Every structure is written in C-alpha cells, then in structure tokens.
Amino acid sequence: MIKTSISILDCDFNNLEREINKINLSNADLIHIDIMDGFFVSNNTIEKFDMGKLSKYSKKKFDVHLMVDNPEDHIEKYIKPLTEYISIHIESKGDISKSLNKIKNNNIKAGLAINPNTKISDLYQYIKLIDMVIIMSVYPGKGGQKFIENTFDRVKMLRKSSNNIEISVDGGVSSLNSYNLISNGASTLVSGSFLMKSENINDSIKNMLKDS
C-alpha cells in the first residue's frame, strides 16, 4: 500500500488545531514535520513546531524529518508516542550510524534523507540500519519548489538495490508526478501545499494514488 505523508510546513500555524483536524479527517497516513536548524539549511523551524500541541491535536502518526547539523543533539525532542519515523540527512555532521541507532533504540523507525546532488550509492553502507530513505526531489529548506525530474531515476536505482526498504519522496510531489514515482518504486509520497491547500484533501490524495 502506498502511503501519503502531509507536510505541514506551509500550514496556517495561527489556526493549528483546525489545520491538523483537516488532516485527521483525511485518508492521509502520516503528518510530515520539517525541522530545520538554521545551519544545515538557512531556515529555522525548531520553534515553529510545538510538539506538545501537535501531539494533543493529532490522530495521525508523525513522520519527523530533521534537516539539521548534528542530528544526535535533536533526536530526543521528537521521541513522542505518535512518532513513527525520524529521518536524518546523510549530508549532516556528526556520526550518522550513532544517530540512526539512537532512533531505533527508542523503538522509532529510522530514516535517512538524501539531497538531489548526493549519490544514491552513498546510502548503501547504511541500508541495514534504516527502515526508510527520503529521496529529496527539491533542495531542502523551503516549500513550493519545482520537482527535479531525475528523481524518477534515483528512485528506480534505489529500488533495484533493495526490495525491502521504504522509499519516500519529498518535494514538489503532486498528481503530476505521483504515478511515475510509484511505478519506479516509491512507497510513500510526501506532499505539502498540493494537499494542504486543496479544497478536498481526500480527492487530491485519490488523484495522487489513482493509478497505483
């Protein structure tokens, strides 16, 4: 089954309960939380996401994406009952294996995200430590970017190397590219504005998954 994970980076944080309730009422599988530290990328969203409020409002599990340097210093804050995944970046500083093990030791699925300009083969050394790869289809740091077309080939390459790994794609994902992503081996589609700003989230999810 193909999963959908709704990024709330561009949601209305002044009306967070209402926005999360829209997701609660939808068929989305996960809420994708983009944490940026102002160093790994220029934006800083650490204070933007109040995990206490999100945990209170949400009925969906969390898919936490740490775009941070030294992820080991941040992991603890996102270990919550609703957290299903915590993903770190292969390009981040610090000990990648140690961070991944810290996630797994807290009974949370570990993910490794990879930027568009990093070779897919760089992931292979960590495959046995991770449950999921997030293939970035835009450069991390802000929403609303244009989807990078060679993402299809990158998904296909990773899927050929591993039948079991979950492959999530994040950035500019919509019904315009979802079919090709799924047919090349993606198992989770992360989508922000396409879903959150649609008139009907379930109709938009249906459009993304219609040929899967």
Burial label, 52 (beta-carbon count in 10 A; 0-12, 13-18, 19+) = exposed
From the list 12, 29, 34, 211, the catalytic residue is 34
Query: For residue 6, which amino acid is it?
Result: I
Beta bridge partners of 109: 85
| Residue 104 in tokens | 């797994």
From the list 29, 63, 131, 170, the catalytic residue is 170
Does residue 12 have an active-site annotation? no
Does residue 73 have an active-site annotation? no
Beta bridge partners of 111: 87, 132
Beta bridge partners of 168: 134, 188
Question: What size, in residues, is the chain?
Answer: 212
Q: Hey, which residues are catalytic here?
A: 34, 170
